[in-house]
Chains A and B, each alone.
Chain A
Amino acid sequence: MVGMHDNATSDFLETLKQKRPGLLKTFHEQLRESASVLDDRGWEKPLASGRVSVASQVGHLLEGTTILAAVYKDGVIIAGDRQATEGFQVGERRIQKVYEVDTYSAIAIAGVAGPCIEMAKLFQVQVEFYEKIEGTMLSLEGKANYLANMVRQNLPMAMQGLIVIPIFSGYDLKRKHGRIFKYDPAGGRYEEEDYYAIGSGGKDARSSLKKLYRSGMSRDELLNAVTEALWDAADEDLGTGGPDFLREIYPTIKVIDQTGISNVPDSEIKILYTELFEKLKQ
């Protein structure tokens, strides 16, 4: 019979490739079929020949902006603003850039929204798929390495301007502390000991955290630092959204410790920003 006796792989990407090859057609394959940016041999025409990148050919794409993660004494906090830009316009005010992967980890994504959200979704399914098939959870580092592979597979898209840059963080149950992994578009995976931020306002958030961050902070101390860093990013960078008191839209902040992942509720974030603005006025 079809299907039942196929290889019992615990890799969801492999399963999709075997059973629904059309669904996972890479952007590169689609380009090859449309052929507009490929030469006669099916190779990519060099950008130097005056051709512009696909990203600029298809018009404005939604782009996510600032995401960050920081370790505190009991775990890790991962956060992101809620705005996506479309050129110089606000494209979306309530976009979600931070996703829960499983009980002990989360992914935040900066870059072009479409492929970003797709990668986060696929990664989440993969981690859960593995857990169910194998009957055991992937280690935090195992998940981080798998994600590196996904980012590397996205390289042809990144070359076309459709860049996806994740931050992956979680609570390591073996080492008993929070950990942060950052990536480059070539699939390079690097661990950060204390904090990291990326996206259009990432540098501003990093500069802010550089002054505010201390190792061994408590949850509340780090929450103050994180909200301030996101505010600095929103204040300096046009792409990053700040707290929106009018529409009640606040940054996403998730806390992961040994008991698992939890959302910091909007009501708490609202208070943090109200206090921060009081402090800044003085």
Chain B
Amino acid sequence: MSAPYYVSPEQIMQDKEDFARKGIEKAREVIALEYQNGIVMVAKNPLTTVFKISEIYDRIALAATGLSPEYEALRVYGIQQAEIKGFTYIREDVMAKWLTTLYSQQVGGVFRQWDAKPLEIELLICEVREDSSSNNRIYHVSFDGTFWEEQPYAVIGGKADSIVEILDQEHKEGMNIADAIRLAVKTFEKIESEVDEEERYEIVADTIEVALLDETRERRKFRRLLHEEIAEILTHET
């Protein structure tokens, strides 16, 4: 029997990182940004069956990009854990920080497992504030499990960095919902205009997914906007 080739741990981790980055470069972007009444999440998503943005718990939503079977498993996992915690204790005890740590453990665990392929995903865990004495939270989880908080907006996906640059210029505090959605769409369009025409992603009401965490709603703050509602907002461009 021949001895296995030696590969240094540095090399293994570097290969994994390169692999994951290559996957995420292809991932379509999702923007989460604060607006007047909470957080709005806007994703490039041509499908009406697989969502990139979903409700996890009363005040918590998950926005994800990358390989859909991978983030779908994490979505279900998050709902299960949140409901179990809320059932065991009380609903207010379920918080985004706690959920982010769980996600970080799962994603980081897979990344460090020697015989597993790293997850090709990025996540945003968004939480709308309980009342005016607390803050909205957006946590960003990377493919290797590291996470950090971002405010007042965060972007995941291939061209996230260029989108953040635009938002740095354009984002204003206390935007109303229509302005916030239009800003996200305008940013997507700007990024797409730099892409070759045949590879360009067309941004219309039917190819984007929009959901809100609206603090003025009752217990469940999450609401998904219908395509008609998105179209209505986009046609009234100011």
Residues of A within 8 A of B (CB): 1, 3-6, 8, 12, 15-16, 19-20, 23, 121-122, 125, 128-129, 132-133, 135
Contacts and interface: CB of A to CB of B under 8 A. Distances in A.
B71 to A, nearest CB: 11
A16 B87 contact: yes
Nearest to A24: B87
Interface string B26-66: 00000000000000000000000001001110000000000
Contacts of A122: 87
Contacts of A128: 83, 220
B63 to A, nearest CB: 15
Query: Interface residues of A: mostly helix, strand, loop or mixed?
Result: helix
A15 B106 contact: no
B76 A133 contact: yes
A128 B80 CA distance: 11
Given A1-B106, A132-B55, A135-B51, A20 B88 contact: yes
A4 B84 contact: no
Given A1-B105, A132-B56, 11 more contacts: A1-B113, A3-B81, A3-B106, A4-B74, A15-B83, A16-B84, A19-B84, A132-B54, A132-B55, A133-B79, A135-B54
Contacts of B83: 12, 15, 125, 128-129
B77 interface: yes
A129 B79 contact: yes
Interface of B: 51, 54-56, 72-74, 76-77, 79-81, 83-84, 86-88, 105-106, 109-110, 113, 220
Given A133-B76, A133-B79, A15 B51 contact: no
Specify the main secondary structure of chain B where it touches its partner: helix
B87 to A, nearest CB: 6
11 contacts: A1-B105, A1-B113, A3-B81, A4-B74, A4-B110, A6-B77, A23-B87, A23-B88, A121-B87, A132-B55, A133-B76
Given A129-B79, A133-B76, A1 B110 contact: yes
A97 B87 CA distance: 19
B231 to A, nearest CB: 21
Contacts of A135: 51, 54
Given A20-B88, A121-B87, A129-B83, A5 B73 contact: yes
B84 A15 contact: yes
Among B83, B106, B113, the most chain A Cβ lie within 10 Å of the Cβ of B83
A15 B74 CA distance: 15
A8 B56 CA distance: 14
A132 B109 CA distance: 26
Nearest to A8: B76
Given A19-B84, A20-B84, A1 B109 contact: yes
A16 B84 CA distance: 7
B108 to A, nearest CB: 9
Contacts of B51: 135
A273 B105 CA distance: 57
A12 B77 CA distance: 12
B88 A15 contact: no
A135 B56 CA distance: 11
B80 A19 contact: yes
Closest 5 pairs between A and B when the two form their complex, measured CB to CB? A1-B109, A8-B76, A4-B77, A4-B106, A15-B80
Nearest to B110: A1
A20 B83 CA distance: 12
A16 B51 CA distance: 26
